[in-house]
Structure 1
Amino acid sequence: MDPRRNVPRTDVVLADPRLAPAFVHSGRAAVKAAVVQTLDRVRSGELEPDEVIDAALAALPAGPRPVLNATGVVLHTNLGRAALSPAAREAVLAATGHTDVELDLTTGRRAKRGRTALAALHQAIPTAGDVHVVNNGAAALVLAATALAGGGREIIVSRGEMVEIGDGFRLPDLLESTGARLREVGTTNRTSPADYERAIGPSTGFILKVHPSNFVVRGFTSAAAVPELAALGPPVVADIGSGLLHPDPLLPDEPDAATTLAEGASLVIASGDKLLGGPQAGLLLGDAALIERLRRHPLARALRVDKLTLAALQATITGPATPTWQALHCDPETLRARTARVQAVLTAAGVESDLVESPAVVGGGGAPELTLPSWSLSLPPAYGALLRTAPVPVVGRVERGRLLLDLRCVPAESDQALIETVVLAASQAG
């Protein structure tokens, strides 16, 4: 008998209830294309007829996959930095439908876009004259440079602060793309207030102060502080990077928005998806007139955030402690006891592991010298790829020939999923 007679019809396969969730997530056209492709594989003898459904589902385009971050890096850029809080996730889900993002429900007229999120941010930093939000920290700096120094005006910046911000993007290139001119002052390791003062002239747009974030220069060094720069006259734009709104004793070397404004900065730029623990966003806080100038600039339209980001940002600011805050302030002994419980379950399942001390880090370009006392499960390094490609991917880090799984950033309710993934990896590794 011709084996092609056993190939099911396309409409029969599409009616299989196991494909119903795929219609919701991928759409009928994509599911049908995957089914047709899979049936061709059955006709060629590559697959058996009873494998059609699983193969069709596997052939559907995959979106970003949730992973368990067991790296010990709280703000892991490759894993999307900050994990949103449950409140922020609920807010995003609610915002996926129609919302009042630009509508006053009382009057029925158009309202200021994202006014409730902006009000929440302003309330969090009441000393700011006004606030604005764009789509990331680099965009905030570009908007400030374009609006305040575009058209050939000068930005005065220390040579020691001409940083690379990641993925090959460098601050000088970013700023010069706006049409502004850079006036570099000082040296790599030492820049004084007098260096800035000598550079001030009729073409000065503003003085830029950049927190290095992901590196530290030690030894014979000096840098001008924000109060010293504010006393020189031109506006001071301070890019603090990490998104810390208020001082945190855990992070004594990280600048925060409230303190930087109190020290005299005209504008503070920060990221929303780092220490703030929210969505990717660029926060602009400071002088009301300057904020309005930025808001009314034509480039602001191209850099505006969508309703989902606004919803997540507001919930992050007004809601309970974020996963980022919880991971940073996790009690080491509590973490040790939790890790030991997971190890005991693994041992009972026949998986050998060690409980080891292993320092965690902030990541995301924040607090580069800070280490967080932590504990990890130590496993053979061969488990790494097996865990990453599992149905519930678990990402750890390899250190000194061992795979370490730090539970600091893994939600406690995901411990069972992690255990099952490790047991599966152990069985595959033999």
Structure 2
Amino acid sequence: MSDVDPRRAIPRTDVLLADPRLVAAGERLGSGAVRGAVSSALARARRGEIMPSEVLSEAVAALPGRASSLTPVLNGTGVVVHTNIGRAPLSAAALEAVVDAAGYVDVELDLRTGERGRRGAGAVAALREAVPEAEAALVVNNGAAALVLATTALASGREVVVSRGEMVEIGDGFRLPDLIASTGARLREVGTTNRTHLEDYLDAVGPDTGCILKVHPSNFRVDGFVASVGLEELRDARRPDGSVVPLVADIGSGLLTHDPVLPHEPDATTSLRAGATLVTASGDKLLGGPQAGLLLGRAEAVERLRRHPLARALRVDKLTLAALEATLRGPVTPVTSALHLTADDLRPRTDRLAAALGREVVAVVGRVGGGGAPGVPLPGWAVEVPVAVVARLRTPMEDVPVVLARVEDGRGLVDLRCVPPDRDVDVERAVRAALAATSGSSSP
């Protein structure tokens, strides 16, 4: 019997790092991740947990499949703007623009003169083309930031007049009163939860009024004995000295023009025509672009916001600007396409998927999501699967895409509304694998 310690056969670190597979992984994931995987495999070999000949394969297997920990998913929930999975998926044009902008770009440079240029001029120009009623536009990093900048610049140390029926709470417990208070402005609540009249606003306006704020209650509805005041009625509200009070309309959803599928959802064009001084909105909701806060309105007001010190802290990066411009100038976005699919459009695809899997087709109602148009149903169809399959679908499996489905009335549902048609085959593959994996623990 040989007395030679088998650990003497453990390969050297430099030999391992020179392997083509690890060299390629280093270019994709970075040298730190590769060295960490190699060190871990070597330590296991020295402890005798693996054979020296297995070190290289173990190091390769330990490397992550992607450079980011974020896991791509296929949205089979029927919820178009799904906050938990990143809201709006970018269009092909926006994806191309992001890749192009990932290197050095003229984000803040005038190539003709070689001098410093206006940051994000292309995205701002695209916004103004999409909403001609806007004299000027500004882009910040999200919708809440847009509202914070507007109220800070217009009303810090002064009053913001807002209806009690519009004192909303947005996602993750963030509330409008807290948001406004953080700007240094004082909230002046008027009216009641269900009824606010023009006189309530006018009685509250005084020399210390910074602005009037109208907030679209996008994630809930109040029906019955209700009353509210439109922008047209508030556009000429004046302080005692005769100066017009700025009117800020937070429409939330990012809809730029009227959409007949969403008849009661406010849009930027209509809001500006109605008299809003400024409109604030999100770019990653119904606009279907990247996360961004949009500010559109009168040139004087927008310039006041642009020059405010807070604007620097809230500005967006070159990737967002590129994606936003491409979204505005490009073809119909995935969000718009999904919203406009009818039940008749979805039935053939759903039938094919159900037939391939041997499952049933059921009628369902999709949702806009993202706090937008809560009362608007999106009729469609889904493939019914066991509830256990829903959990399995969102569990990463080798060579199988992650699919997010939903559970409703005790049934698992896979809805193709938000799935690109060319990915139906991937959904089929994932559901087939999930059905096989759960066949021993759930009924078919």
Q: Same fold (TM over 0.5)?
A: yes
Q: Within 2, Cα distance between the matches of 1:291 and 1:401? A: 50
Q: Within 2, Cα distance between the matches of 1:393 and 1:21? A: 25
8 Å CA contact 2:22, 2:60 repeated in 1: no
Q: Within 2, Cα distance between the matches of 1:200 and 1:389? A: 55
8 Å CA contact 1:30, 1:60 repeated in 2: no
Give the Å deviation of 1:342. 1.8
- Quick one: which of 292, 298, 322 aligns to 2:309? 298
User: Which residue of 1 is the match for residue 408 of structure 2?
Assistant: 399
Q: Within 2, Cα distance between the matches of 1:246 and 1:108? A: 37
Give the Å deviation of 1:354. 1.6
Q: Within 2, Cα distance between the matches of 1:264 and 1:19? A: 61
User: Which residue of 1 is the match for residue 168 of structure 2?
Assistant: 163
Q: Using a 3 Å threshold, how does the CA distance of structure 1 residues 232 and 405 change in structure 2: closer, same or farther?
A: same
Q: Within 1, Cα distance between the matches of 2:45 and 2:68? A: 22
Residue type at the aligned position of 1:63: S
User: Which residue of 2 is the match for residue 425 of structure 1?
Assistant: 434
Q: Within 1, Cα distance between the matches of 2:231 and 2:304? A: 22
Residue type at the aligned position of 1:137: G
User: Which residue of 1 is the match for residue 42 of structure 2?
Assistant: 39
SS of residue in 2 equivalent to 1:65: coil
- Quick one: which of 270, 278, 284 aligns to 1:259? 270
User: Which residue of 1 is the match for residue 242 of structure 2?
Assistant: none
The equivalences for 1:41-80 within 5 A come to 41-47=44-50, 49-50=53-54, 51-58=57-64, 62-80=68-86
Q: Within 2, Cα distance between the matches of 1:60 and 1:239? A: 38
Residue type at the aligned position of 1:387: L
Please, what is the CA RMSD of the aligned residues?
1.7
The equivalences for 1:334-373 within 5 A come to 334-347=345-358, 353-373=359-379
Q: Deviations over 1:32-76 (max 9, x none)?
A: 112211332344344565351454214987521111011110000
SS of residue in 2 equivalent to 1:366: coil
- Quick one: which of 8, 13, 18 aligns to 2:16? 13
Q: Within 1, Cα distance between the matches of 2:50 and 2:200? A: 72
Q: Within 2, Cα distance between the matches of 1:367 and 1:357? A: 21
SS of residue in 2 equivalent to 1:183: strand
8 Å CA contact 2:21, 2:60 repeated in 1: no
8 Å CA contact 1:133, 1:281 repeated in 2: yes
Q: Within 1, Cα distance between the matches of 2:393 and 2:373? A: 29
Q: Within 2, Cα distance between the matches of 1:66 and 1:193? A: 48
Q: Within 1, Cα distance between the matches of 2:46 and 2:419? A: 44
User: Which residue of 2 is the match for residue 23 of structure 1?
Assistant: 26
- Quick one: which of 133, 136, 145 aligns to 1:139? 145
User: Which residue of 1 is the match for residue 338 of structure 2?
Assistant: 327
Give the Å deviation of 1:145. 0.9
Q: Within 1, Cα distance between the matches of 2:428 and 2:48? A: 37
User: Which residue of 2 is the match for residue 227 of structure 1?
Assistant: 232
User: Which residue of 1 is the match for residue 241 of structure 2?
Assistant: none
Q: Within 2, Cα distance between the matches of 1:16 and 1:142? A: 53
Q: Deviations over 1:393-426 (max 9, x none)?
A: 1111111222111111111121222222222222
8 Å CA contact 1:102, 1:114 repeated in 2: yes
Residue type at the aligned position of 1:196: Y
Can you give the 5+ residue segments of structure 2 that lack an aligned partner in the other structure? 239-244, 440-444
Q: Deviations over 1:99-152 (max 9, x none)?
A: 1111111111111111111001011111111111100010001101111011x2
Decide which moves more: 78-87 or 43-52: 43-52
Decide which moves more: 382-391 or 361-370: 382-391
SS of residue in 1 equivalent to 2:128: helix
Q: Deviations over 1:226-284 (max 9, x none)?
A: 11111323111000000000000000010000000000111101110000000011100
Decide which moves more: 414-423 or 298-307: 414-423
TM-score by length of 2: 0.92
Q: Within 2, Cα distance between the matches of 1:360 and 1:6? A: 60
- Quick one: which of 100, 105, 111 aligns to 1:99? 105
Residue type at the aligned position of 1:80: G
Residue type at the aligned position of 1:78: N
SS of residue in 1 equivalent to 2:375: strand
Q: Using a 3 Å threshold, how does the CA distance of structure 1 residues 58 and 136 change in structure 2: closer, same or farther?
A: closer
Matched, 1:415 2:424: yes
SS of residue in 2 equivalent to 1:300: helix
The equivalences for 1:73-92 within 5 A come to 73-92=79-98
Residue type at the aligned position of 2:368: V
- Quick one: which of 177, 186, 190 aligns to 1:181? 186
SS of residue in 2 equivalent to 1:249: coil
Can you give the 5+ residue segments of structure 1 that lack an aligned partner in the other structure? 348-352
Q: Within 2, Cα distance between the matches of 1:375 and 1:18? A: 45
Q: Deviations over 1:10-53 (max 9, x none)?
A: 33333333334421232012211122113323443445653514
User: Which residue of 1 is the match for residue 198 of structure 2?
Assistant: 193
Q: Using a 3 Å threshold, how does the CA distance of structure 1 residues 60 and 4 change in structure 2: closer, same or farther?
A: farther
Q: Deviations over 1:161-186 (max 9, x none)?
A: 11011101100001101110011100
8 Å CA contact 2:33, 2:63 repeated in 1: no
- Quick one: which of 383, 386, 390 aligns to 1:380? 386
User: Which residue of 1 is the match for residue 222 of structure 2?
Assistant: 217
Give the Å deviation of 1:202. 0.5
Matched, 1:202 2:226: no
SS of residue in 2 equivalent to 1:239: strand
Residue type at the aligned position of 2:187: L
TM-score by length of 1: 0.95
SS of residue in 1 equivalent to 2:105: coil
Percentage of pairs with the same residue = 60
